[in-house]
Structure 1
Amino acid sequence: MADYTIHRGDLAAGITFGDVVSIDCEMMGLNLNRDRLCVVQMYDLHSDHVHIIQFPDAVYNAPNVRAVLSDPDRLFLGHMIRLDLGWILKYLGVAITNVYCTRTASRLGQTFGASHDFKDLVSNLLGEKIDKSETSSYWGADTLTPDQIRYVINDVIFLHRLKHVLDVLLEREGRMPLMRAAMQTLPARVQMDVAGWWGDDILSFPF
């Protein structure tokens, strides 16, 4: 398990990150209008360190977190990252624009029936086994359990490696331009989610 630090309410001052950071969020549920943001975890590959930021008191005045997330030159990796971007925008007020979603990359590259679930991607592409049983646990608690800590770490430490494997596949199949285009449109989709069009694809047929 990677080294980690737990922060309450904000990152400690002076922490630096590289150009590519993997992120994930834990919420009270999956309803953007109802369920609050509880935890943000960020992993920097070069330091091999996970920073876990808790918001147990539902206070989101986190200037150091915002500063890291607001850097347009920093690439943020996530799985189903649209979810995380929505909660980050609503609760931290940051519209992240430079993103890479491993689930989208898998759906574009692995069109031969492979599972796009994070646990399966980690197993099938990286040969690693992870436990996802803490998905439905209570993330608003004052103190995270050891199992929850292990869970949040596993959600971010494999994303850099997944991106590398999926990029090779996308390049080989000539689908990297589609991936780039999809990621360029994702921030606009997140803006719609936060504005109230969550679950409503306004571009779908029939109109």
Structure 2
Amino acid sequence: MTIQYIDTPEQLQALCVQIGRHDWIALDTEFLREKTYYPKFCLLQIATPDWVACIDPLAIADLSPLFEAIYNPAIVKVLHSCRQDLEIFYQLSGKIPMPVFDTQIAAPLLGFQENPGYAMLVSSFLNVNLSKAHTRTDWSVRPLSPEQIEYAADDVIYLCKIYTLMCDQLDKLGRLDWLNADFALLNNPELYQLSPENAWLRIRGKNKLTGKQLSIMQALTEWRERTAQQENKPRNWLLADDMLLELAKLQPVTVADLAKVRNIGERTVNRYGKTLCELIDVARQRPPKPLVEKGKPQKKTQQTEAILDVLGAVVRIRAEENSLNPIILATRNDLEQLLAGDDDCLLLQGWRYNMAGRELQGLLRGDYRLRLRDDAVEISPVSA
């Protein structure tokens, strides 16, 4: 298949006409993020079973015709592990190109493990081992070699083939519609909006901090996130996570004190020292945002283990009915999260919720019951 390399507005206009003739397209992006906060968009690959194209966003100033074509709601966008790709589109246009089909999300319904890699799917479906020759390519350097372009195009060429095979298999199993709710969740802008106020929630070790320490860590983390966004630098270039915790514990109040902190870096002290000390001083005087340990597992008791066993029985029943490995539907850890009230539990999302999560919640509330009948376990509403 000849690869179209699109690096002029005229070529882009012609490609957009091609895109409009299809009801689905496969997409992939190449980007760099090692030296920036926001991903640097370097290449976009698009394919259908009939053609493949690589679009150079560094050579074309106005990509609005491309966005208009891709954002057509009549066209399904097929991607693998699409969160970062969709983040790029969201940051460039403020919108998310829906509808999407994510082969990584769909794969467990065909018996694959949770979050399988793209190379695994290519190998399993097509018996092809992907080359790793250009894994470390700097996609911002021009010109791209023919080998680099072919490497990039292969991803969407194979993605087309995988999508076709996946849809055929899911359709035969009656499972295509199961994924609608999972894919709809990807249309939530909050997934791609990076909030400085909540950045502290991602810091490991925060649970070990005392009140003042936690308040300081929260203030410093919010400052780091805002500054990284404004200067478009990786957040760890400003302060690493372990340094945030260290400063929260040491609480330096002068630039001289700050300079004595091990591994702080002279440049950081010179450029941001006064600001950091002011933040620390203010944060020490105010209470921290509450630390809510969401989804904390309950203490393991015999009763807890018995409840998990009952929930696991429901999972096994529903998995068997749908010819799935029970582990794909829910692990023991998933059940523990459900029992702990964790809103992020997989059993409360998408097809898993419809297949088992709703019933499991009802069972925990007492709305459902289990009973033995004819050597089988039945699940039914209490009112039945």
TM over 0.5: yes
Q: How does 1:1-207 map to 2 (within 5 A)?
A: 2-8=1-7, 10=9, 11-15=11-15, 16-17=18-19, 18-29=22-33, 33-45=37-49, 48-56=50-58, 60-111=61-112, 113=113, 116-171=116-171, 173=173, 175-188=175-188, 191-196=189-194, 203-204=343-344
Tell me the SS of whatever aligns to 1:21.
strand
| Maintained 8 Å contact 1:25/1:37 | yes
Tell me the SS of whatever aligns to 2:85.
helix
Give the aligned length.
197
Tell me the SS of whatever aligns to 1:39.
strand
Instruction: Name the CA shift for 1:98/1:31 in 2 (closer, same or farther; >3 Å).
Output: farther
Alignment-mate amino acid for residue 87 of structure 2: G
Alignment partners' CA distance in 2, 1:182 and 1:31: 32
Higher relative helix content: 2
| Maintained 8 Å contact 2:125/2:162 | yes
| Maintained 8 Å contact 1:37/1:91 | no
Please report how far the alpha carbon of residue 164 of structure 1 lies from its aligned counterpart in structure 2 after TM superposition. Answer: 2.6
Give the TM-score, by structure 2 length: 0.46
User: Which sections of structure 1, spanning at least 5 residues, go unmatched?
Assistant: none
| Maintained 8 Å contact 1:60/1:92 | no
Instruction: Name the CA shift for 1:179/1:115 in 2 (closer, same or farther; >3 Å).
Output: closer
Instruction: Name the CA shift for 1:171/1:13 in 2 (closer, same or farther; >3 Å).
Output: closer
Please report how far the alpha carbon of residue 35 of structure 1 lies from its aligned counterpart in structure 2 after TM superposition. Answer: 2.4
Give the TM-score, by structure 1 length: 0.81
Please report how far the alpha carbon of residue 109 of structure 1 lies from its aligned counterpart in structure 2 after TM superposition. Answer: 2.5
Alignment-mate amino acid for residue 36 of structure 1: K
Please report how far the alpha carbon of residue 193 of structure 1 lies from its aligned counterpart in structure 2 after TM superposition. Answer: 3.2
Tell me the SS of whatever aligns to 1:138.
coil
Deviations 1:168-206, CA, capped at 9 Å, x for gaps: 443455543331211111121xx2233116997x9526x
Question: Per chain length, whose mean CA-contact separation is higher, i.e. which structure has more relative contact order (CA < 8 Å, sep 6+)?
Answer: 1
Alignment partners' CA distance in 2, 1:104 and 1:141: 32
Q: CA RMSD in A?
A: 2.9
Structure possessing the higher radius of gyration over alpha carbons = 2
Instruction: Name the CA shift for 1:133/1:192 in 2 (closer, same or farther; >3 Å).
Output: farther
Instruction: Name the CA shift for 1:203/1:143 in 2 (closer, same or farther; >3 Å).
Output: farther
After superposing on structure 2, the runs of 4+ consecutive aligned residues of structure 1 that deviate more than 6 Å are none
Alignment partners' CA distance in 1, 2:114 and 2:96: 31
